[in-house]
Amino acid sequence: MTIQIGDRIPDATLTTMTPDGPKPVTTAELFGGKTVALFAVPGAFTPTCSARHLPGYVDHRADLAGKGVDTVACVSVNDAFVMGAWAKANDLNGADDVVMLADGNGDFTRAVGLALDAKGFGMGERSQRYSMLVKDGVVDQLNIEQGGEFKVSSAEHLLAQL
């Protein structure tokens, strides 16, 4: 079942790339006691994700912080090395910009009920495109895109909800 507004984020472990290599991060660590703008993309380096989705959150990071967002994070069903390379290609500096989270096996994505069958595109199981605002581990806003669209998961849309 798909996660809903008012639901608690499930316990899961994601991975982020650090200068010392991949580092696990639990959802409790990521969301506990913070307001987090989380957005998910079907794949790092894919056209819409690279040209519009990620840049929007980078461009509006300060605006989101001004509205009380402590952390902006991007999750994708990719491995930590791919997410680290995508961060580097976009000159991101971790928590100062956007925290890049790898959900390599799709465990978190399945737990929130937002998996996407992208086998028809040669991508296997991925994440649907969405954004959510999470306050102390509880979903406050949830914006799930319809297939092939990029509207409600944008930084601008989430910012307007704050």
Q: Write out the catalytic residue numbers.
A: 49
Cα–Cα distance for residue pair 140/133, rounded to 1 Å: 5
* CATH number belonging to the domain at 8-158, selected among 3.30.70.3270, 3.40.50.920, 3.40.30.10, 3.40.50.720: 3.40.30.10
Q: Note the pLDDT tens digit of each residue in 78-92.
A: 999 999 999 998 887
Assess contact for 83 and 44: CB atoms under 8 A: yes
pLDDT at 93 exceeding the cut of 80: no
In total, the chain counts a number of residues equal to 162
Per-position b or e across 127-141, b if 16+ CB within 10 A of its CB = bbbbbbbbbebebeb
Q: In whole angstroms, how far apart are CA 116 and each of 75, 104, 112?
A: 14, 14, 12
Tell me, what amino acid is at 154? Answer: S
| Helix and strand numbers, DSSP H then E, in the chain | 7, 9
- Range with lowest mean pLDDT among 19-23, 66-70, 82-86, 144-148: 144-148
pLDDT at 141 exceeding the cut of 80: yes
